[in-house]
Structure 1
């Protein structure tokens, strides 16, 4: 049986990816199941692998990872979110933003939203579930929420037009700022 701590951790870690998936969904003209599953697989894959990498790095490097993870996440989310805001501002009213689901942008977003999972991997051995089970649960929850987030994001898109992409971008920038503030202010 999977410990409630592991499930709570999985949902907590998946929220960054879910927010990014909402933005991706708002930016796509008509997200297909293939696009949604790709977003879910990339985000879920990163969220599954990063804790394992963190665990493998061990406690010796925990201070180094913890010292920079928030800066990396902030910088990447600022770049991605800033680009989304820029696309929304430069598009004419009623015009699509032109954002495409490129693997490179998805890879960067997947990495940026999973950097905190790297640091979580170090104390993962303290949980009730084995490390690999915990990583699988984290990946599966992120996969499900991110896949759904693409479709939910697109549902919001027609209601708010090009501004949905801008709002998604602002959300990513705010998420990066939140991560930075939480780690620097304690």
Structure 2
């Protein structure tokens, strides 16, 4: 019994560490003018990606090398740079049109970018034979909660800094993407 409790605690800590990027990116994305319903949907989407990606990683972990996990971080960094750059660019332009928003395809890019590291962790956990249900439940629940927290905090900050909030959000995404790329090299 104590072995199972130890494994759950380890998985929750790991899920929290993986979910912090969802929190950070959620903080940036929360600076869009989002309604609570959209924030709820974004959190659920991120949570589902944090279930799906490690699940795929767990199954693929038996077949793929560890080098693919590093490549996943590289792709995630590039996606965050594209999202952040678009947010900063849209505030510099005079028009209100946005190329990428946290709706539809933009939401899928957002979810993919913050869950790619869950895939690489899933690869490792698959190699070591972790319990699949516990992994996906911990990762999904923690990522959803942290995403909601980031989005709600970003929404609050957006009201404090007004029109520059989207540029700040984009800068956060850019910085996080650059950090992932630097870690890749």
Residue equivalent to 1:36: 39
* 1:48 and 2:51 aligned: yes
Residue equivalent to 2:8: 3
SS of residue in 1 equivalent to 2:30: helix
Map 1:143-182 onto structure 2 (within 5 A).
Answer: 143-182=144-183
How many correspondences in the alignment? Answer: 178
Q: Any conservation in 2 of the 1:85–1:169 contact (CA below 8 Å)?
A: yes
Runs of 4+ in structure 1 off by over 3 angstroms are 96-101
Q: How far is 1:67 from its partner?
A: 4.1
What residue ranges of structure 1 are gaps of 5+ in the alignment?
Answer: none
Q: How far is 1:45 from its partner?
A: 0.8
Q: How far is 1:101 from its partner?
A: 3.6
Q: Any conservation in 2 of the 1:97–1:165 contact (CA below 8 Å)?
A: no
What residue ranges of structure 2 are gaps of 5+ in the alignment?
Answer: none
Could you give the per-residue CA deviations for residues 67-119 of structure 1, whole angstroms, max 9, x where no partner exists?
Answer: 41122112111110000111222259xxx786754211010010011111111
State the distance in 1 between where 2:125 and 2:73 align.
Answer: 19
TM-score by length of 2: 0.86
Residue equivalent to 2:66: 63
Q: Any conservation in 2 of the 1:73–1:113 contact (CA below 8 Å)?
A: yes
